[in-house]
Amino acid sequence: MRRERIRTHLRDGVLDIALGDATMTSRQSAELADLLGECAEDRELRAVLVRSECADFCVGIDDDVRGRRSNGPSPADLLAALRVPVVAVLTGRVESAGLEVALAADVRLAAPDASFRFTEVSQGSLPSWGGTQRLPRVIGQAAALRMILFGDPVTAADALQQGLVHEVVDAPIERAAEYTAQWLSRAPLALEYAKEAVRDGSELRLREGLALEADLNTLLQTSQDRAEGIAAFLGKRTANFRNA
């Protein structure tokens, strides 16, 4: 698929995804879903950065997309399912579907001017790209209900206090580059399994989550990257991880 509404750049295993429309059009939604589907199969991919080329990250979806939101996995679902760590750079208005995409990221960095809001209830709808499920898991049920039922904007400062974003920084893109650089120095399998343990384990009972953690640790013990990590530590050198 030729992409017209999304610009991408791949360097050293880090995919930079830049949204080209502040409103999620049907074409942009399809392009994003197609791209993320390809990312799921790319074993060379090490990290993903999602941002916008507009002043606003994303203010929602157009009517054409709204009528087809239930057909297949949403871009937010596909982003959340990626095995590699994902960081979102959030500027301006982050609303409705835009907020749902942001919630699917592992790390959210906000500019001081960022604001967050769900507007669906005022339009006779409700979030349906995972917003009603991911938001309470991030900030708690009471705060999530307030955002969804009232639809009032949340400032970047308040979002940080609630835990909706991880940092508020003047230069979030530069900060995101620091995050991805750190991930490139880590063992890819360890990052993948750590993400799986946290994301999947949070849906399990404690005993089952602990079993998942133990199983993933056992798998890591037999990996080449684990052996390389030990050798690099003992040899006081930088590890050369191979994602194996």
Catalytic residues: 100, 120
Cβ neighbours of 143 (radius 10 Å): 18
Cβ proximity of 27 and 64 under 8 Å: no
Contacts of 166 (CB under 8 A, 6+ apart): 107, 108, 109, 160
**Distance (Å, whole) CA 208 – CA 192:** 19
Write a three-state SS string for 140-151: CHHHHHHHHHHC
The 3-state DSSP composition of the chain as helix, strand, coil percent (nearest 5) reads 50, 15, 35
DSSP code at position 186: S
